[in-house]
Structure 1
Amino acid sequence: MSGDERKLVDTSGDFQYVVRNGEDVADPQWRSCRLIVTNKRLVLATNGSKQPIAHSKIRLADDAAELVPDAASGATALEVGDNVLLVDAPNVDDFETEYVRAALQGQVILAREQAVVGGVVQDDAAWSKARFQLDDGVVRLQFPGGGGLSFEVEDVGTIETGTSTVMGQQRTVIEVEHTDDQDRSVETHLSGMDHHTRALETLFTRVVEGREDDYELSEMESQVLMALYSGVSPFEMSDFVGTTPDEVEEIYQRLLDIGAVDEVRVRTEVALNAQGRNMASEAMSEK
């Protein structure tokens, strides 16, 4: 490995090609291997030979559910040109997430800090190169000149994917909502090369979708969440939504129970967390 290449995963596993040169493999066979993932490439090592594949040549498969058989439900589907291979690492809890983290670690991407603050688009927010790091659950972006941005990956409330002009080119943009050091809801927009944006989308989507979010909000609970999202003080909530303080207290307790808010004080005051901001955003989009 070169001096700036770092090994991030080294484990035993299996792989098989299910598509070669654009054609389905009639009888795919698993092969045992040593799986090595660095910040630059994936290596499949078998019987003294090594098959290195650069991250820039790998895409997470769009139709992974169709490609991975039930018997290999934990496998990760990777597209390499016109080929698709399945990689299974039973000793790694979540190989797909570990692979995505490795593919992004130390990479220079494009970032637009505080593109949206409190729901207001910041027209003066500019795109810049940024070095991406994810360590101990904290995303860190290092900008030229020494500036930086960090937030906990579990603090991500919503994620949207679209296309926009970035530094003169049409690119995929990942819009990530989180809070800043002033507890304001902000959006950081991320872009880069195709394999960067695919990895970023997978990383943050897995975080958001991994939360339990099947609770059906009542109309009043939706109003309270949207009011909190908009910055209404918990102490002013009953007047704002037109109900009694006791009912607001009961709603806060239910929102605490489902993990949509965090308790700030023993009584009355709560603050939206990532799941709550996600639920509030969905409630507002339905209005």
Structure 2
Amino acid sequence: MSSEEQKLVDTAGDYMYAVKGGTPVDDPQWRSCRLVMTDKRLVLANSSGKQALPHSNIEVVGEEELPASVDPAGATPMRIGDNVVLFDAADVSDFELEYCRATLHATVILTKHPAVVGGVIQDEATWRKTRFQLDDDVITLAFPGGEETTFAVDDVGTVETSEQAVMGETRTILEVEHTDEDDRSVETYFSGMDHHTTALQSLFERVIEEREGDYELDEIESQVLMALYSGVSPFEMSDFVGIPVDEVEEIYRKLLDVGAVDEVRTRTEVSLNAQGRNMASEAMNEQ
């Protein structure tokens, strides 16, 4: 390992080939190994030798990539060339998250920030090289000239993908909604090499999935959420949606219970949080 390479995880683990050379393995078996994650590669070592796998050759994938006969049992599937390999480590509580951290650690990606503010596209926003850092649960984006912006990864509301021209080349981009330092709803666009965008997508979508519950909004609750998302004051909600104040407050209590809003004051005032913005966005898409 070179002096410029940083070791981030070094632990005992297990791996299993579910697909090898593009063909499902008939009798997949777990094998023990030592797993080392650096900011450049994933190293797998056992009695047979050592494999150093650059992050650019690895893609975190979903369980749908596994043969139906393979139960991941909480392990993380990764595509490596024509192979799909499951990885697990007892001392790492969330292997996929730690791998995404390693892939993205202090790496330079492309961002457009803010690309959207309050639902309004910022025409003057341009793509810039940006150093990405995830420390604990806070993302820091460092731009040329010393400018920085930070936001909590748990504050991500929605993530969408699209294909766009980025610096003269068509790339996959992630459109990530979150709040900024001024508590505005903004969107930051991310792009880069394929393994960067897949790691970012996995990171952000896991945050959203872990936060989502099974609660289904009724029609009036959807209207209230969409109104909050559009900037309607909680105090104006009764007149805006045409229902009594006490019914609005009851809806706020339900939204507090499901984690869609945060309480600002003891009575009638709430603010939409990341989960609420995600629910409101889905409600709007269903209209």
Task: Please report the TM-score for the alignment, with normalisation by the length of structure 1.
Answer: 0.95
Secondary structure of the corresponding residue to residue 211 of structure 2: coil
Secondary structure of the corresponding residue to residue 210 of structure 1: helix
| Within-5 A mapping of 1:89-104 | 89-104=89-104
Q: Which residue of 1 aligns with 2:204?
A: 204
Q: Which residue of 2 aligns with 1:185?
A: 185
- The separation in 1 between residues aligned to 2:26 and 2:80, in whole angstroms, is 18
Rate the CA distance shift 1:106–1:53 in 2: closer, same or farther, 3 A: same
Q: CA deviation at 1:221?
A: 1.1
| Within-5 A mapping of 1:81-160 | 81-160=81-160
Q: CA deviation at 1:64?
A: 4.4
Unaligned runs of 5+ in 1: none
- The separation in 1 between residues aligned to 2:58 and 2:285, in whole angstroms, is 34
Cα contact 2:12–2:89 (8 A) shared by 1 = yes
Q: Which residue of 2 aligns with 1:265?
A: 265
Question: How many residues end up aligned between the 2 structures?
Answer: 287
Which stretches of structure 1, 4 residues or longer, exceed 3 Å deviation after superposition? 62-65, 67-72
| Within-5 A mapping of 1:46-85 | 46-47=46-47, 49-62=49-62, 64=64, 66-67=66-67, 71-85=71-85
Q: Which residue of 2 aligns with 1:18?
A: 18
> Sequence identity, in percent?
64
Amino acid at match of 1:49: G
Question: Pairwise CA RMSD of aligned residues?
Answer: 1.6
Rate the CA distance shift 1:197–1:135 in 2: closer, same or farther, 3 A: same
Q: CA deviation at 1:48?
A: 7.6
- The separation in 2 between residues aligned to 1:76 and 1:264, in whole angstroms, is 39
Unaligned runs of 5+ in 2: none
Cα contact 1:68–1:86 (8 A) shared by 2 = no
- The separation in 1 between residues aligned to 2:161 and 2:168, in whole angstroms, is 19
Rate the CA distance shift 1:54–1:30 in 2: closer, same or farther, 3 A: same
Cα contact 2:76–2:87 (8 A) shared by 1 = yes
Cα contact 1:13–1:87 (8 A) shared by 2 = yes
- The separation in 1 between residues aligned to 2:65 and 2:227, in whole angstroms, is 38
Rate the CA distance shift 1:48–1:24 in 2: closer, same or farther, 3 A: closer
Secondary structure of the corresponding residue to residue 151 of structure 2: strand
Pick which of 244-253 and 68-77 moved more.
68-77
Asked if 1:41 corresponds to 2:51, the answer is no
- The separation in 2 between residues aligned to 1:141 and 1:48, in whole angstroms, is 41
Q: CA deviation at 1:4?
A: 2.3
- The separation in 2 between residues aligned to 1:202 and 1:69, in whole angstroms, is 24
Q: CA deviation at 1:29?
A: 2.5
Amino acid at match of 1:57: N
